Amino acid sequence: MYIRWIVRHHKNAETANVSFYDAYLVESYRDDAGQPRQRTIGYLGNIRQINGEFSALEREIFFIRAERIMAGIPVIDATERASINALIRLKIPNLTASEVERAFRNNIRWFKRWRMSRDIPLTHQEIVEILEETEDDPKGDYEGM
């Protein structure tokens, strides 16, 4: 199996710096006549590239969605899923530690502003308690995504 990337570019000159990358999981096979063919196993999603870069947020969302889609394709086992993930990351790099930390800090800032806008102060102790709660959930809170 391999990933077929279909790239679409914006036709609008004002957004010409935006491209969309669609990822399809494809396998090669030979038909009854022995001719090589390809069939699409599944659509893994798309990701937007702006000014030649994939943003950290879009990369993480793409990875989560692609993983969920692969989990729902019965012909893909765990070993093959790991190989497919490696193929995806040849095109779309993993998040760096600094990108993850920046996102984490921004989420805490957003949560604090959200609470303050509703006159609900957020204490340091509450943040610590929230962090301790998440340690009990090894899967994370992606269930609603």
Per-residue pLDDT of the chain (145 residues; tens, 9 = 90+): 899 999 998 777 676 788 999 999 999 999 999 999 999 999 999 999 988 899 999 999 999 999 999 999 888 888 999 999 999 999 999 999 999 999 889 988 999 999 999 999 888 898 888 888 765 555 555 555 4
With contact defined as beta carbons under 8 Å apart, do 112 and 122 qualify?
yes
Sign, CA torsion 106/107/108/112: positive
Contacts of 96 (CB under 8 A, 6+ apart): none
pTM: predicted TM-score of the whole model, two decimal places: 0.74
Alpha-carbon distance 99 to 81, whole Å?
Answer: 25
Alpha-carbon distance 74 to 70, whole Å?
Answer: 8
With contact defined as beta carbons under 8 Å apart, do 2 and 21 qualify?
no
Alpha-carbon distance 9 to 11, whole Å?
Answer: 6
Q: Which amino acid is at 117?
A: S
